[in-house]
A and B are shown apart, each in its own frame.
Chain A
Amino acid sequence: MSVTSDGRPPSEVTGPLDSPAAIEAPTPREIRVSRSKQDRVYRGSVRATAIAAFVILFLIGTFLLVKSLPAIDKEGWGTFLTTTAWNPSASPPTFGILAVLYWTVVIAVIALIVGVPVSLCAALFITDYAPLRLRRALIALIDLLAVVPSVIFGLWGLFLLQGNLQGFARFLSAHFNWLPLFKSGGNPEFTNSAFIAGILVGVMIVPIVTSVSREIFSLTPLGEREGAMALGATKASVIRTVVLPFGRGGFIGAVMLGLGRALGETIAVAIIISPSFIITAHLLSPGANSIAALIAREFGQGGKTGAEALLGAGFVLFVFTLIVNFGASYIVNRSRTGASA
């Protein structure tokens, strides 16, 4: 713009929108899209598929709820959620999932205690320490670990891990039994426990936690990283002062994704534990449970009432994992867009 509308030289202009003429911009032509019939069919069918996914998720929740209602109404939701006895084939049938829920959470927490530090280390090694070739190989190996079937992990846990962990469990119970967690509860055996199941599930959640947090850590702004290095920071201080604060939100999200996996893990837990419907603090002794493992083990037993009770348990698990995962994806997405969590 060399000359303004009233002829003043441009150097005196304070703003180009000063004059009323500039404000009155012509209204843009309305753009109408007319799609061909084929395009409408294409759009419609693709949209229908997407909506089908929506419907399926909705149906999963409603079907499990509706079909479990006959049994749970008889028992009462309060009793279902707050009692521990599980005996649907008795008369009158009793079933409460409090103990099962308790053990589900205990196993998931042990899994997090084991799996999260390892995942954090592996993710940091991949983003900050490994040379490029090793980095690629490690990413591939961790992806491979993610597709190993859980029944295989279960066999491994039962036939190899359990034998090797027993000595450790015995040691804990012998020397740290002032903690109620490590008391043996009078049982000389240390097999089939929440401890072993938790450690196994901890190994199983490593791939998901590692790959999500690796992705988050690799988004650390290069400038801040280099700035820290230019100030003389060692690698460890770069991680402490730049990478971890930047990736904290995403890492928490990754941990929650791992928690979701751990809560829903079925077969590996079912293989390790010997089912228990009592709430105790003895992590090392035989006897634990989880909702998913309960369904896998008890399915087909206890007749109609038993099936309905299991559907109710499945519904509780469904709601539980949905909440955890929505929280996780919310946090991950927020930290991906750069907002601090």
Chain B
Amino acid sequence: MSIATLKQAAQRRALPQPEDSLRRRRPTSLHRADVALLVASAASAVSLVWFVFYQLTLFSGAAGFVIASIAVFLVMYYFANRQVFGKMVAADRVVASLVTLGSVGVVTALALVIGFLYTRGHRLISWHFFTQDQHAVTQTAPASAGGISHAIVGTLEQVGLAVVIGAPAGVATAVFLNEVGGRITAAIRTVITAMSAVPSIVAGLFIYVLLITEFNYGFRGFAGSLALAVLLLPNITRTTEEVLKVVHGSLREASMALGAPEWRTVWSVVLPTARTGIATAVLLGIARIVGETAPLLVTVSSSAYMNVNPFKDPQEALPTFVWQFYQLPLAKDVERAFAAGLVLVGLVLILFVLARLVASIRPGAVHRMVTRLRPSRLEAS
């Protein structure tokens, strides 16, 4: 299709046709000429990049090819559109395609991360991968020997303890900021923002200095839990505060008017109303700390043995397992690292999906569910 025909097509579209007033107008609909221009620009950009870079210069690797193709495509698309439709349309379309390509890029990155991890790690996933540890595995054993049960137990315990410490503290701080307040509110809010920006390795170093060098506490799971709690607290506080802000003021006033003291209002009215929001905040916070590696390196150390006691001796965790095993020289150890990474991402995904599901629960649904489960109580009332 030559530029002349494209121009004709555009002019035909621009001229008011007699039946135009009756037809439904679609301001953003795509016409054949537009699609042709898009496809033509893309095809010529890709071929040009392929020709120039693979045939004439030192160029290899998919990443560079994609980047160069996109750049050339945008330039070509702009000039082609400018020829046919003029400057304004050309700029509009280039911006639209740039913005679309940007989001496609983000989604592609996510798909590549998870897809790559799956292809490298899924072969080792089996029942005994979840039930055995690494202590009896020799150098000559196949990749499928042993498992990561010790790392899974360590991660669950460390994260569990971190949640037990960090989540109530985080919610309480949010309650302070939103329900109690006072002169120090602004200062606390700033501190929470600052804390949420503390690099995770610094949080780990802090616990290391405080517990391990100062009190000679030694590397153990609980030290890691404390470091994770430091990271979890500001995260939960910030999201919970947003949720509490949405709770309608009239609910608080109604509770107060009925004579309820403040703590009763918060405990029985505000927090239950914000229940699903808080649960989402906590779940997302957990999803974020499950994969933290750096703080565990300096507080928990690692162990090839199963250690179910987080209060004594080093423990393994999923992220530290990955960190150790990818560095080992044997290919089967790297494969184990990928498999453990896959399990870790699976855990994160489960938490993430749970958070989404909880967030989508409509207000009152929990109450209805409970009353449906206990019909006797419903009849009595």
Give the contacting residue for B188; candidates A35, A45, A50, A67; CB below 8 A: A50
Interface size class of A (residues with CB under 8 A): 35 or more
A31 at the interface (CB under 8 A from B): no
Give Cα A56 to B165, complex, Å.
14
1/0 per residue, CB under 8 A from B, across A290-327: the answer is 00100110010000000100110010011001101110
Residues of chain A whose beta carbon lies under 8 Å from any beta carbon of chain B? 35-36, 38-39, 41-43, 45-47, 49-54, 56-57, 59-60, 63-64, 67, 117-122, 124-126, 128-130, 138, 140-153, 155-156, 158-161, 163-168, 170-171, 174-175, 203, 206, 210, 234-237, 239, 257, 260, 263-267, 271, 292, 295-296, 299, 307, 310-311, 314, 317-318, 321-322, 324-326, 329
Residue of B nearest to A52 (CB): B169
Give the contacting residue for A54; candidates B191, B294, B338; CB below 8 A: B191
What 6 pairs between A and B have smallest CB-CB spacing? A149-B291, A121-B102, A264-B199, A168-B64, A167-B61, A167-B60
> Across the interface, which residues of A come within 8 angstroms of B177, CB to CB?
50
Give Cα A53 to B189, complex, Å.
10
B308 at the interface (CB under 8 A from A): no
Give Cα A151 to B155, complex, Å.
14
Instruction: Assess the B96–A118 pair: CB atoms within 8 A.
Output: no
Give Cα A210 to B102, complex, Å.
11
Instruction: Assess the B102–A263 pair: CB atoms within 8 A.
Output: no
B230 at the interface (CB under 8 A from A): yes
Interface size class of B (residues with CB under 8 A): 35 or more
Instruction: Assess the A155–B322 pair: CB atoms within 8 A.
Output: yes
Q: List 30 A-B contacts (CB under 8 A).
A: A42-B262, A42-B263, A42-B266, A46-B172, A47-B176, A47-B184, A49-B169, A52-B169, A53-B233, A54-B184, A67-B214, A118-B105, A125-B103, A138-B106, A143-B284, A150-B291, A151-B341, A152-B291, A155-B338, A161-B63, A164-B63, A170-B58, A234-B91, A266-B199, A266-B201, A292-B199, A317-B199, A317-B201, A318-B199, A321-B199
Supply 19 further A-B pairs (C-beta < 8 A) apart from A121-B103, A124-B99, A236-B96: A49-B173, A57-B198, A64-B202, A121-B99, A121-B100, A121-B105, A122-B102, A125-B103, A149-B291, A155-B337, A156-B112, A156-B116, A167-B63, A168-B67, A203-B109, A292-B199, A295-B205, A321-B197, A325-B194
Q: In residues 98-114 of chain B, which contact A (Cβ within 8 Å)?
A: 98-103, 105-107, 109-110, 112-114
A-binding segment of B29-37, B245-253, B344-352: B344-352
B117 at the interface (CB under 8 A from A): yes
Residue of B nearest to A263 (CB): B199
- A interface: dominant SS: helix
Instruction: Assess the B263–A235 pair: CB atoms within 8 A.
Output: no
Instruction: Assess the A267–B294 pair: CB atoms within 8 A.
Output: yes
> Across the interface, which residues of A come within 8 angstroms of B262, CB to CB?
35, 39, 42-43
Shortest distance between the CB of A283 and any CB in chain B (Å): 15
Give Cα A102 to B127, complex, Å.
47
Residue of B nearest to A165 (CB): B63
B182 at the interface (CB under 8 A from A): yes
